[in-house]
Amino acid sequence: MDVPLSWQLAKLLVSIGIVLGLSIVAERVSTRVAGLLSGYPLGTAIALFFIGLEISPGFAAESAVFSLAGFTATMALGGGYLLCGRRDGLAGVLMGTTGGLAAWWLASLVLTRFDLDRLSGTLVTLLAIFAFTWLYRHVPETRVTVRHGSSRWKPLVLRAGLATAIVFLVTALAHVLPASWAGMLAAFPISMYPLLVILHLTHGAAPAATVIKHYPAGLGALLCYALCVSLSYATLGLLWGTLAGFAVATLWLLGWMRLQAWHVARQAVGT
């Protein structure tokens, strides 16, 4: 179907706004918080919403089922990027991107060969979260140094453009691919990948590695969102289904952050 210009403009504005907001968090707060927020339903929410708007809510709901397992492929992308993108500068970004995309493709290829449902897709990603969190336990923490001046807007514009291009590519491919691959593409790290590229280019490989390290911890919110919209899109519609998904994801993220604060407090008392 032909996509109205107003929908395309809305997709453009929403994508740019989310990317710029996450970039400011990474520089003003910390890469750790940015990594957690990268797991919040930002890019995936945009992709699934516009897939539902342009194709049908039912197709988007079916795609969301496969997105549940697709987050495992997203973590594989982070792992491939971390292994291959150890050098600073453009060379490191290109090597990391190549390794990350290769890992994402292989993981997606394997996952789409299985007839996954909500339970199996969720369990696959939960196991992957524990595995990647354990593998990343020795990755050092690195904060970025804020750079003032007009030049700081150049990477933000680049990142916004890259993320927006990914959103348009994902939603366009959803028109010609089955729901399984549309779900895998919706789970692609639309907001996290551009963040890695810009942090890597402007601050080196270490801050990008910090984002990758904390990305699995934030995926609980994405799982909650995808599970909720897979159940609600066909019954509540896109608007209310999206709002319900964000409500569930927010509750999970607040609970997770509270648990982390309790754990830190316990450690402080123990020392």
pLDDT of 167-190, one tens digit each? 889 888 999 999 999 999 999 988
> Contact, 173 vs 47, CB < 8 A?
no
Tens-place pLDDT, residues 145-166: 545 444 556 666 777 788 788 8
Cβ contact 60:48 at 8 Å: yes
30 in the Ramachandran plot: left (φ > 0), alpha (ψ -120 to 50) or beta? beta
| Tokens (6 digits) for 214 | 């904390």
Round to whole Å and give the CA distance between 219 and 216. 5
Of 223, 197, 207, 228, residue with least CA distance to 98: 197
pLDDT attached to residue 126: 94
Helix-, strand-, coil-residue percentages of the chain, each rounded to 5: 80, 0, 20
Q: 113: which DSSP letter? A: T
